[in-house]
Amino acid sequence: MTTKRALVVGASGGIGAALSRVLMAQGALVTEVSRSTVDFDITDPLKVKDHMERLEGAFDTVLIASGILAPVNMRPEKSLAEIDADGMARVLAVNAIGPALVLRHVPRLLPRDARSVVGVLTARVGSIGDNQLGGWYSYRAAKAAANQIVHTAAIEIARTRREAIVVALHPGTVATRFTDAYPAQPKVPADKAATNLVSVINGLTTAHNGSFLDWAGKSVPW
């Protein structure tokens, strides 16, 4: 089922902007929220509350695409010795607490008696079961926390929005400014990644509620 009206949080980022373009190309009316467009700061509870309360539903698709690999002038940790408290707190604030702050306001924006999808972009490296390489402590921990938040929100939202589908989504390694520092890692262009994700979203049913899925619609271990 294609989207009619969508909300994209983090729409100025590489994958967020691509998601907006793909949804618009499919005929959706897209509302974009980002730091560059409306001075939206996902880590600021008051700004999140202010901007989210201005929105009027219903949205049949809500996508949260905000995230960072590491704070400015820092990199994902390669070892325990590189862990920095302030840096870790920043990564958790953007990648886990921020989406939770947004999700707090999402239920009232969803239709009560019609299908809707809430997708939060997390990452495969947030999977505990799939972690074979180690490293990237802050980013892994933040995405794992985001996955738990999404799964828990899916349970709660389904109690009042029976046709809502809340999922964590892994887009693959997307070619954006965040991944430029890792040239050896195979990447997919942002528009391709967005097209893949929108295809997955269009095919979701309530049986997928609370799932962690990759860009091909396959389950990712928690």
Q: How confident is the model at residue 39 (pLDDT cuts 50, 70, 90)?
A: confident
> What distances in angstroms separate CA 107 from CA 79, 102, 164, one per listed residue?
39, 10, 9
Q: Is the pLDDT of residue 36 over 90?
A: no
Burial of 219 (0-12, 13-18, 19+ CB in 10 A): exposed
pLDDT digits (tens, 9 = 90+) for 193-202: 999 999 999 9
Domain boundaries, the chain: 5-214
**Helical packing angle, 137-160 and 85-92, nearest 10°:** 30
Average pLDDT, the chain: 94
Q: Is the pLDDT of residue 177 over 70?
A: no
pLDDT digits (tens, 9 = 90+) for 94-127: 999 999 999 999 999 999 999 999 999 999 999 9
This prediction has a pTM of: 0.93
Q: Which helix (H) or strand (E) holds 33?
A: strand 29-33
CATH topology assigned to domain 5-214: Rossmann fold (3.40.50)
Q: Which helix (H) or strand (E) holds 66?
A: none
Residues in CB range of 179: below 8 A, 6 or more apart: 69, 173, 185, 187
pLDDT digits (tens, 9 = 90+) for 56-99: 989 999 999 999 999 999 999 999 999 999 999 999 999 999 99
- The encoded tokens of residue 197 equal 């994700």
203 phi/psi in degrees, rounded to 5: -95, 0
